[in-house]
């Protein structure tokens, strides 16, 4: 577990001609076919260069997209920078979003603007980049629906209570995802993005030092793994240090995350509970034994996630700069 500077993760994206969020509009795969025909190639090229420069680009971009979609919907509201420090990205739950994710979207937008000025939303670029980083890590490819517009609201005060915490139990996770039209299997599949994630020690320190008064170490943790975590994260560790969420294949988008859960090596309570709660054990076991099943569920969940409360038509805008409203 090599120390790295970065946070954890999650993901998103899409299919064709589906009614979005209560009839707000439609997303379609070929939305920019005539207005920006090289869009996907442009974004993929930028993502590829960025990933080659810094691997954390992969988890950072996935997590950025997930955090964006769960607050205000998939509308790039998390990209807005406020001089007053009160935008969505400034909320406590978003402070740990790694800079490589933001940088990827900004660079991709600049490259797209050079060929198709004022045409493609930052929200759509985020959706494409999220797919592209999964592929870059060896994960499944899938078609991305497009046609989102960029949101007009970005407030730190609207973040709290809308993102899952590392201490969540299965019911809390299931209920939160259900609020966004995602079922329990979607939640379990999207959690698999942690296979390429990183986490700061503070997010799980309670599991190895002060779980309960009678059991300082969470008994659901594999004892050897618990010792490894203590070595990587001593009590007074540098708060910037982060460790791999998948101790085995941290740079590959595979199903080893689920195999780890079966072995008691889920980093967060919200990871391990997916296996220890009888209501979800069978799904985790299936994904652990069959990577194809995981990939299929993950891509289906990504398509659904990419539709969460999207803005279309007059509900949003096409930002010229992803970090500022027009």
Binding residues for Ca(2+): 68, 71, 73, 75, 77, 88, 195, 246, 249, 254
Q: 207-222: buried (b, 16+ CB within 10 Å) or exposed (e) per residue?
A: bbeebeeeeebbebbe
- Is residue 222 within 8 Å of residue 263, measured between CB atoms? yes
Nearest partner of 231 among 211, 247, 249, 214, judged by Cα: 247
- Is residue 186 within 8 Å of residue 298, measured between CB atoms? no
Q: Which residues are annotated as a binding site?
A: 68, 71, 73, 75, 77, 88, 164, 194-195, 246, 249, 254
- Catalytic-labelled residue, pool 67, 200, 303, 319: 67
Q: 258-295: buried (b, 16+ CB within 10 Å) or exposed (e) per residue?
A: bbbbeebbbbbbbbbbbbbeeebeebbebbbeebebbb
CB-based contacts of 68: which residues, under 8 Å, 6+ apart?
A: 74, 75, 76, 77, 78, 79, 88, 123, 126
Beta-carbon count within 10 A of 75 CB: 28
**Gyration radius of the chain over CA positions:** 19
What is the spatial distance between Cα 325 and Cα 150, in angstroms, rounded to a whole number? Answer: 9
Q: Is 67 a catalytic residue?
A: yes
How far is it between the farthest Cα atoms of the chain? 65
What is the spatial distance between Cα 140 and Cα 134, in angstroms, rounded to a whole number? Answer: 7
Nearest partner of 7 among 104, 110, 123, 95, judged by Cα: 95
Q: Which two tokens stand for residue 294?
A: 């995981």
Catalytically annotated residues? 67
């Amino acid at each position: 577990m090599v120390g790295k500077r970065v946070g954890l993760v999650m993901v998103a994206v899409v299919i064709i001609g589906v009614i979005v969020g209560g009839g707000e509009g439609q997303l379609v795969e070929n939305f920019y076919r005539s207005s920006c025909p090289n869009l996907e190639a442009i974004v993929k090229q930028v993502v590829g260069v960025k990933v080659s420069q810094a691997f954390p680009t992969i988890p950072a971009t996935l997590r950025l997209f997930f955090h964006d979609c769960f607050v205000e919907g998939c509308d790039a509201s998390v990209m807005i920078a406020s001089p007053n420090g009160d935008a969505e990205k400034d909320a406590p739950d978003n402070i740990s979003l790694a800079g490589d994710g933001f940088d990827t979207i900004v660079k991709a937008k600049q490259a797209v603007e050079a060929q198709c000025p004022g045409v493609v939303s930052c929200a759509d670029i985020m959706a494409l980049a999220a797919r592209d980083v999964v592929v870059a890590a060896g994960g499944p490819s899938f078609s991305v629906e497009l046609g989102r517009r960029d949101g007009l609201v970005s407030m730190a005060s609207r973040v709290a209570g809308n993102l899952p915490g590392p201490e969540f139990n299965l019911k809390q996770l299931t209920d939160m995802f259900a609020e966004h039209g995602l079922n329990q299997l979607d939640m379990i599949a999207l959690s698999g993005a942690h296979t390429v994630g990183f986490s700061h020690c503070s997010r799980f320190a309670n599991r190895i030092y002060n779980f309960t008064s009678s059991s300082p170490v969470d008994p659901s943790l594999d004892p050897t793994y618990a010792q490894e975590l203590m070595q990587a994260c001593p009590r007074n560790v540098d708060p910037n240090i982060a460790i791999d969420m998948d101790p085995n294949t941290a740079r590959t988008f595979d199903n080893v995350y689920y195999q780890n859960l079966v072995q008691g090596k889920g980093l967060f309570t919200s990871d391990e509970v997916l296996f220890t709660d009888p209501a979800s054990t069978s799904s985790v076991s299936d994904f652990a034994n069959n990577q194809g099943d995981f990939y299929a569920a993950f891509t289906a969940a990504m398509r659904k996630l990419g539709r969460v409360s999207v803005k279309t038509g007059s509900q949003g805008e096409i930002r010229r700069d992803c970090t500022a409203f027009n």
